A and B are shown apart, each in its own frame.
Chain A
Amino acid sequence: MPRMQVVPLLEIVRETPTTMTYRFRGDLGGTPGQFLMVWIPRYDELPMALSYLGAVKGITVRDYGDATHALAAFTAGDRIGVRGPYGNAFQLEGPSVLAVGGGSGMASMIAAIEAFAQQGARVVTAVGARTAAELLFVERANAAGEIHIATDDGSRGSAGFVPALAEKLVARESFAQVITCGPEKMMAAVVDLARQKGLPVQASLERYMKCGIGICDACALDDKLVCWDGPIFTGDQLAKSEEFGRYRRDKSGRRVPV
């Protein structure tokens, strides 16, 4: 059984005004799309995507609450607990991939973007953010293939939302598959688009988690568990879902709108 490891942070990188990467060495594996449960001592334990899979692992997370805010004040040498990796991985299904990322969702996809490119696939990334400064992992995605940018405020790339950009890209070029991670409404639009075009699509979902190991039911999505059956679900699975794009569970287990 994988257990909690306490590791010192080696390096902390501010990727955008709201998003940080934390690097550490850990005795754990990891495939593209998997996540760790990360213990920020005295604050919380949260699921975080592995954004670097090499000997020096990395997690990249947006500062959105008390615990991530506390983590943002950590410095090299401060220690966190990690357990995992948990969940499934993005699967390469053909010679060309369209990756559609929104905001900090790029953190869950960047390892897959790089791995797929390394396996010889053509990887085109459509990345979106509110504003230019919030664009995440543009250089890494560009180095792995080709990148197209959309910002809500038009400060870089095309003005508008990333699903519209993705629509232009699939009209221009035929892809073997689509992968996506970002705000759930955005992913729902990307999944719809891919299904309309008959493209296989995989989306990485986020839910509140407690155990991370498939027993507590906090991260339920219909009759699936995001930590155990996911976090990556196929378009076929999501098309059958009553909850994807509509509902999530709050900490008490109540169904609330996404």
Chain B
Amino acid sequence: MVDLRTEIAGVALRNPTMLASGFLDETGGSMARVYQAGAGAVVTKSVGPQPREGYPNPTIVELDAGLLNAVGLPNPGVIEYEHEVKRAQAAGAVVIGSVYGKDADEYAAVAAKMSTYGVQAIELNLSCPHAKGLGTEIAQDEAAVRDFTREVKDVVDIPVFPKLSPNVQDIAKFAVAAEEGGADGIVAINTMKAMAITPELKMPSLANRFGGLSGPAIRPIGVRAVYDICEKVHIPVIGVGGVGSGRDALEYIMAGASAVQVGTAILSRGLGVFDEITKEMASLLEEAGFQSVPEAIGVAHA
């Protein structure tokens, strides 16, 4: 029997699947449900200092390639969000708090507040590709990634995981910057900048015009990003982007990820996806002769 437990910077997970930020994580009730459905941990909606409504609809477009979204970081603000975290924790969920802000001070203030709720780690949303002034530019600037990470590290005593954008020339440099800033782990990748147009109406399909693409189309991009990052940093990596099966998850693990996040695949496989991925991983690892997840991490690096 393969041991599916894994650990990232001291955060113990019953299995390597995590709910990706932005999916079913605005409310504690939904996060509890996802955890109960089998996720090893849940990452919250990205939460900022103040309530934010997000963009007008349409905010989501289903495409053959995956899911295009410009939801626009809706969240109730970090003060009210305490209730949601507590509710998820009451159901036993391992919760990672995702935060954003307009500058390093705001990131630090929100992360500090979030850390008092008992979350196990902080994920820094440094890379939302479609919310102006909120993370977008930071993800394009290595020094900012380093400095923002350091400012947050200075005010919390739980692990900090910056989430990086794939919309850069060389993502590994940004991972190195995050490591220099004291990051305890890296989350890669966020969505790819993308767009869809509705020809019948001669207009963009999203109200925000532009959005971020998730799902199967970005998996090879994410796997490459994780592989590149793992060549350059010594901290654990969490792989995100198009994970919908145990095989997909193993690609990320063998590229060097210690865990994976799952979001868009909930659409095609339902909430059972976490449990299914875990079981599929177990049988694939067993076939490949591994006894545990850590044994398989990064084996594709010759």
Q: Which residues of A contact B (CB under 8 A)?
A: 1-4, 6, 37, 39, 41-46, 79, 81, 83, 210-218, 220, 222-225, 249-255
**B33 adjacent to chain A (CB < 8 Å):** yes
Name the residue of chain B whose CB is nearest to the CB of A40: B57
CB distance from B268 to the nearest CB of A (A): 8
Complex interface: chain B residues within 8 A of A83 (CB): 62
B120 within 8 A of A: no
Can you sample 14 A-B contacts with CB below 8 Å?
Answer: A4-B205, A45-B58, A45-B59, A81-B58, A215-B67, A215-B266, A216-B22, A216-B60, A220-B30, A252-B74, A252-B77, A253-B51, A254-B80, A255-B76
Closest residue of A by beta carbon distance from B268: A1
State in angstroms the CA–CA spacing of A223 and B33 once bound together. 6
CA–CA, A225 and B267, complex, Å: 14
Q: Is B29 a contact partner of A223 (Cβ separation < 8 A)?
A: yes
Pick the interface stretch among B121-129, B186-194, B195-203. Answer: B195-203
Within 8 Å CB of B290, what residues of A? none
Cβ 8 A contact of B30, one of A3, A41, A210, A225: A225
Q: Chain B residues near A250: list those with CB within 8 A.
A: 53
Q: Which of A41, A43, A216, A249 contacts B201 (CB 8 A)?
A: A41
Q: Is the CB of B201 within 8 A of A253?
A: no
A220 touches B201 (CB 8 A): no
Across the interface, which residues of A come within 8 angstroms of B24, CB to CB?
214-217, 225
**Cβ-defined partner of A41 (8 Å) among B23, B51, B60, B203:** B203
Q: Given A39-B57, A250-B53, A253-B75, 5 more contacts at CB 8 Å? A: A6-B198, A6-B201, A216-B24, A220-B29, A223-B33
Chain A: minimal CB distance from B230 (Å): 29
Give the Cβ gap from A230 to chain B, nearest Cβ, in Å.
14
Indicate whether B52 reaches chain A with its CB closer than 8 angstroms: yes
Which residue of chain B has the shortest Cβ distance to A211 in the bound complex? B60
Closest 10 CB pairs of A and B: A223-B29, A45-B57, A6-B200, A251-B53, A252-B51, A217-B26, A220-B27, A254-B76, A253-B26, A45-B58
Contacts of B77 in A (CB 8 A): 252, 254
Q: Indicate if B56 sits at the interface (CB-CB under 8 A).
A: yes
CA distance A45 to B60 in the complex (A): 10
Docked Cα-Cα span, A249 to B26, in Å, equals 10
Q: Select A213's contact among B54, B62, B203, B263, beta carbons within 8 Å.
A: B62
User: Are A46 and B57 closer than 8 Å at their CB atoms?
Assistant: yes
Q: Does B45 contact A (CB under 8 A)?
A: yes
Q: In the complex, which residues 57-94 of chain B have their Cβ closer than 8 Å to any Cβ of chain A?
A: 57-62, 67, 71, 74-77, 80, 83
In the complex, the answer to whether B59 meets A211 with C-beta atoms within 8 Å is yes
Number of interface residues of B (CB under 8 A): 41
Selected from B30, B56, B58, B67, the residue in CB contact (under 8 A) with A217 is B30
A210 touches B62 (CB 8 A): no
- Is B32 part of the contact surface with A, judged by Cβ < 8 Å? yes
Do A4 and B74 touch across chains, with their CB atoms under 8 A apart?
Answer: no
Residues of A contacting B27 in the complex (Cβ-Cβ under 8 angstroms): 217, 220, 223, 249, 253
Bound Cα distance from A217 to B71, whole angstroms: 11
Docked complex Cα distance between A250 and B26 (Å): 11
User: Interface digits, B13-43 against A, CB 8 Å rule (1 contact, 0 not)?
Assistant: 0000000001111110110110000000000
CB of B109 to closest CB in A, whole Å: 18
**When A222-B29, A223-B33 are in contact, do A210 and B57 touch as well, CB less than 8 Å?**
yes
Give A2 to B201 CA distance when docked, in angstroms: 19
Give the distance to chain B from A68, nearest Cβ to Cβ, in Å: 13
Q: Which residues of A contact B83 (CB under 8 A)?
A: 255
User: Could you mark each residue 197-215 of chain B with 1 if its beta carbon is under 8 Å from any beta carbon of chain A, else 0?
Assistant: 0101101010100000000
* A223, chain B: closest CB distance, angstroms: 3
Which A residues touch B264, using CB under 8 A?
215
Complex Cα spacing A252 to B200, Å: 31
The smallest beta-carbon distance between B301 and chain A, in angstroms, is: 33
- Residues of chain A within 8 A of B26, CB atoms compared: 216-218, 220, 249, 253
B211 to chain A, nearest CB (A): 12
Given contacts A210-B59, A211-B60, A218-B74, contact A4 B198 (CB under 8 A): yes
Contact of A4 among B45, B53, B61 (CB under 8 A): B61
CB neighbours of A217 from chain B (8 A): 23-27, 30, 45
Question: Complex Cα distance A3/B74, Å?
Answer: 24
Identity of the chain B residue whose Cβ is nearest the Cβ of A229 in the assembled complex: B33
- Chain B residue numbers with a CB within 8 Å of A43 are 56
A1 close to B62 (CB less than 8 A) = yes
Task: Report how far A45 CA is from B198 CA in the complex, Å.
Answer: 14
- The residues of A that contact B33 with a CB separation of less than 8 Å are 223
Whether B75 lies near A81 (C-beta < 8 A) is no
